[in-house]
Structure 1
Amino acid sequence: ACDCTGHGVPGALVSVVCSNALNRAVKEFHITEPGKILDKVRELVLETFDKSEGNIQDGMDISLLAISGVNAPSLSWSGAYNPLWVASNGKISELEGDKQPIGKSDNPKPFTTHTITLNPLPGGCGAVYLFTDGFADQFGGPKGKKFKYKQLQEKLLAISHRPLAEQKAELEKEFENWKGALEQTDDVCVIGIRI
């Protein structure tokens, strides 16, 4: 799940540059580890920005996941600002993303790859969630305030045992009810994967 900064035509151009860099990192450079993919994407994005005439300060926040293995499946994940939530056994655990974007930053460091061995729960009752800030930042409710991450986390935990199609429908309903007559403030992306 990724979210590019910027608006209008500049924002669209940043999205194209970031999408192209992500595709190249995986397809051209054959990188499979999420942290190393994000390192390469940042390098390619900055290389492209450096060639432009303007001083581009925009970039991308992303949560990148790779699942591998059949007999002993594992999950590798890396994030640029965005976290990963893992729902299992009645709670949600959070893996924090690195506090840096894909783009220019004051003190860039290599992105961290977190690896988790998956122990599938009976009936597949666990889930992982990747998301952008669009849902949590939506204004609405009785006081016209933001939905917030805590409320999103509580909602996901409450529905995490349900089939993914039902979760999707429930999140869409929750979003529309919260937003009400207010304008949607950002694009929204929530990805759930059953484990």
Structure 2
Amino acid sequence: MNNPKITVEDNTETSTKCFHESVDNFFDLAGSIPAAVIITSLSKWTFVKVNDNFTRMFGFKMHEVIGKTFIEVDILNKAELHRIVQIVKKKRKIQNEIFTCKTKRKKNVYAVVSSELIQIDGTAYAISSFLDISDFKEQQLIIEQQNKEIIDSINYAQLIQKALLPTQKQIKSALPNSFILAIPKDIISGDFYWIEKYKNKNFIAVCDCTGHGVPGAFISIIGYKLLSKFIVERGFSSPAKILNHLNDEFSLANKEIITNTLEIRDGMDMALCVIDKIEMTMTYAGAYNPVYQVRRGILTKLTVDKIPIHLFTSHTGEKFTDSEIKIEKGDLYYMFSDGYADQFGGPRGKNFFLKSSRS
């Protein structure tokens, strides 16, 4: 790459004596600046003057750089110098841009660069500061790498969590006329859905663990496995009985992990339905989460018990109760976690909310 040029109109001759006096006065005033300060000509981008911090930062003595270009000194490679030139051409200055530089010993230095165009005796120059942020940048790169590894692990965990959830084939087999919307906020989620087809009944649950992200995902896996265990191994058909035993199981687990200093207090809200297609009935129970029915255009909230499922902590001993309704042709039933209603949006950035939660 040829030496870059920025054309600046210059109608006066340079006075060498006045120039050096002006530059020296400037460097006297700027002596306390912690950055490397460089004055370069705009015609060929050659070094005109550098301060002591430049020597300390890059390892060059003044006589080794004066009159030479950035490429000749090799502080900036061609790509970085081209970026500087393009910014100056577009904005006429550089403001806090990060560039990768090299010292005399070819060690990379990350610098925050600011540059202003000035005129001295009618000649255009660029005065630039290079502030060494290598330590900060290296720490940032370490953090970015660690963050990438964490995100990669969480993305892999998402695949595992998805593998536990019912497949589309299972869902359509149990509920042909159904849909599921599941969009985790943090890649993996404490909210999950569960479907089990057992004998002539379909078991459907929508669960909302109070923990989000990784903690919520761990709890969701435990809850998911226990729900299937209660149906397949123990033959439970009562939603309330399933929820009561879920509470009991976690209370027992709590006794094994609790210490004097730690007790995990996360919980789970859930709506659980059992549909008998032969009898055309639906039995349901819930831990806070209701079921919504639309029948002949009328929306009805099917209330449930205001008892949370306590995970890894003792519960009050309250028991869940079953409710049963007859299913009619054309009925619609909706179950969801609070994630949908709690999402932010709209012109005011407020929660969507449920109408009933405001009354």
> In 1, are the aligned partners of 2:274 and 2:284 still within 8 Å (CA)?
yes
The yes-or-no answer on 1:15 pairing with 2:220 is yes
* TM-score using structure 1 length: 0.69
Residue number in structure 1 paired with 2:338: 133
- Which residue in 2 is equivalent to 1:189? none
Q: Shift in Å at residue 105 of structure 1?
A: 6.2
Runs of 4+ in 1 over 3 A off after TM superposition: none
| Equivalent in the alignment of 2:355 | 150
Displacement of 1:19 in angstroms is: 1.6
8 A contact 1:84–1:96 mirrored in 2: yes
Q: For 2:323 and 2:314, how far apart are their aligned partners in 1?
A: 22
Question: Aligned to 1:36, which of 241, 246, 258?
Answer: 241
Aligned positions, number: 146
**How does 1:44-123 map onto structure 2 within 5 Å?**
44-53=249-258, 54-70=262-278, 72-103=279-310, 104=313, 107-120=316-329
- Structure 1 window deviating more from structure 2 (128-137 vs 102-111): it is 102-111
Contact preservation (8 Å) 2:254, 2:314: no
Distance in structure 2 (CA, Å) of the matches to 1:105 and 1:91: 39
Cα distance in 2 between the residues matched to 1:87 and 1:105: 37
Secondary structure, aligned partner of 2:341? coil
Q: 1:105 to 1:82 in 2, by over 3 A?
A: farther
Q: What amino acid maps onto 1:65 in structure 2?
A: C
Instruction: Return closer, same or farther for 1:16/1:49 CA change in 2, 3 Å cut-off.
Output: farther
> 1:137 & 1:105 partners in 2: Cα distance?
28
| 1:37 aligned partner, one-letter code | I
* Matched-pair contact (CA < 8 Å) for 1:41–1:102: yes
Residues 18 and 45, structure 1, Cα contact 8 Å, conserved in 2: no
Unaligned runs of 5+ in 1: 152-195
The residue type paired with residue 347 of structure 2 is P
Q: Structure 1 vs Structure 2: percent identity of aligned residues? A: 38
Q: How far off its partner does 1:26 sit?
A: 1.4
Question: 1:25 matched to which residue of 2?
Answer: 230
Quick one: which amino acid aligns to residue 32 of structure 1?
A: S
Paired with 1:106 and 1:50, the residues of 2 have a C-alpha distance of 12
2-structure distance, mates of 1:95, 1:78: 9
Instruction: Please give the alpha-carbon distance, in whole angstroms, between the structure 2 residues aligned to 1:85 and 1:27.
Output: 27
Tell me the amino acid that sits aligned with residue 324 of structure 2.
T
Bigger radius of gyration among the two? 2
Compared CA separation, residues 99 and 108, structure 1 to 2 (3 A): farther
